[in-house]
Amino acid sequence: MRIFLLGVVSVLTLLTGCAQSSESSETEEFTLAHNMPADHPIHESLVDFQRILEEKSNGNMKLRIYGNEQLGSEREAIEMTQTNAIQFTKVSASALEGFSESYSLFSMPYLFDSQEQYRETMKMPEIQDAFYNKTADNGFIGITYYDAGVRNMYTNDRILESNDDMHGLRTRVQPSQTSVQMIEALGGTPTPMGFGEVYTALQSGMLDAAENNESALTDNNHGEVAKHYFYTEHAMVPDILIMNVDAFNDLSEQQQEWVQEAAAESTELHEPRWDESMEEAREIAEEEMGVTFHDVDKSSFMEAVEPLQETFQQNEATKEQYDLIMGENDNE
């Protein structure tokens, strides 16, 4: 809470600073918040976005980046983006589910067939209309996506051979209804909470398990308190860069293009960086933190979530997006 309050104070200070500097030198300054530490690949890719935007605009569009939940959790950062207290934030698509139902689709287990197809889909121009522009009435739009890896289960000490072993497992999920339904379908006990709270909850035994990409073990230190990681590969939930819609509309056409181009270029740079970071994370987790990585037979996990997948097939609210992604699956 204290960090959040400090965050609010900084945002107010920033806003004042922003207005003054734009009057005096025509330089525009924007604020971007996210929840990862400075050595996380997503932070580095956002720094790419910052650098490219500044280069394209000849130094006239500057970005201040606040990572590590300094300005609050994902939910709080989205709310600050809605009111233009900050202009950008990077959040999991899962956190956007509460603002636009279309985003719930990304938390549907086993949505994508492969990482290649996931990346191709996320870069299709149609994604813009099907997802990014749908939240304009909520005060923000999507600008680009960043690969946030494949989500897998990890536990304090429980061994998972099939989804039966998840029975009664208190499992952290992102605060999204679809994620809650997924863990219920798998037989676990879903415990929604913000990412910043997970380490302590695992450490205190309040949680038995969580699910995330490999970097959660290292960059966020969960490998200190969770010693088994299982390749259930149940979801690929993208990170989305969102921007306040008025801040975007207030830009000149040229500036809007720079924002879009800088974001797209940073997404391209992010992909190889991501792959390398995940390999490194596994190595560090295994060798320095004593985490054991397990291959699992995914079939029981996939079967258990079929009813949830069926509800998406019939959901009119996400049909346009579902068809778009499935069309891309079939084209493989």
Q: Shortest Cβ distance from residue 195 to ligand GCU (Å)?
A: 3
| Pairing assessment for the beta strands 239-244 and 28-33 based on DSSP bridges | unpaired
Contacts of 161 (CB under 8 A, 6+ apart): 296, 297
CB closer to ligand GCU out of 45 and 50: 45
Q: How far apart are the first and last CA of the chain?
A: 47
User: Cα(329)–Cα(199) distance, rounded to whole angstroms?
Assistant: 35
Q: Choose which of 96, 239, 301, 312 interacts with ligand GCU (CB under 6 A).
A: 239
Closest separation between CB of residue 158 and ligand GCU, Å? 19
Q: Which of 14, 53, 148, 242 binds ligand GCU (CB under 6 A)?
A: 148
- The one segment of 77-85, 137-145, 212-220, 283-291 that binds ligand GCU by CB under 6 A: 212-220
Give whichever of 104 and 300 is closer to ligand GCU, judged by the CB atom: 104
Query: Is 212 one of the binding residues for ligand GCU (CB under 6 A)?
Result: yes
Pick the closer one to ligand GCU by CB: 127 or 240: 240
Tokens of 19: 């207005």
Show the DSSP H helices in the chain as ranges.
2-25, 41-56, 74-82, 93-96, 115-122, 125-130, 177-186, 198-204, 215-218, 245-249, 253-289, 299-304, 306-313, 319-330
Tokens of 31: 């604020």
| Contact characters 63-82, ligand GCU, x per CB under 6 A | -----------x--------
Dihedral over alpha carbons 290, 281, 146, 74 (to 10 degrees): 40
| Residue 240 identity | I
Number of residues forming the site for ligand GCU (CB under 6 A): 11
Give, in order, the Cα–Cα distances in Å from 271 to each of 166, 209, 214, 277, 304.
32, 27, 15, 10, 31
- When asked if residue 89 is in the footprint of ligand GCU (CB under 6 A), the reply is no
What's the closest the beta carbon of residue 62 comes to ligand GCU, in angstroms?
A: 24
To the nearest whole angstrom, how small is the minimum distance from the Cβ of residue 263 to ligand GCU? Answer: 16
Assess 144 for contact with ligand GCU (CB under 6 A): no
Under the phi-then-psi rule, with left for phi > 0, alpha for psi from -120 to 50, and beta for the rest, what region is 187?
left
Task: Please pick, from the candidates 35, 45, 155, 318, the single residue that binds ligand GCU as defined by CB under 6 A.
Answer: 35
Alpha carbons 298 and 1: distance in angstroms, whole number: 39
28 or 214, CB closer to ligand GCU?
A: 214
| Under 8 Å between Cβ of 169 and 208 | yes
CB of 20 to ligand GCU, least distance (A): 32
Exactly one of 174, 181, 218, 267 binds ligand GCU (CB under 6 A); which one? 174
Minimum Å gap between C-beta 92 and ligand GCU is: 4
Nearest residue (CB) to ligand GCU, 272 versus 307: 272
| Interacting residues with ligand GCU (CB under 6 A) | 35, 74, 91-92, 148, 174, 195, 212-213, 216, 239
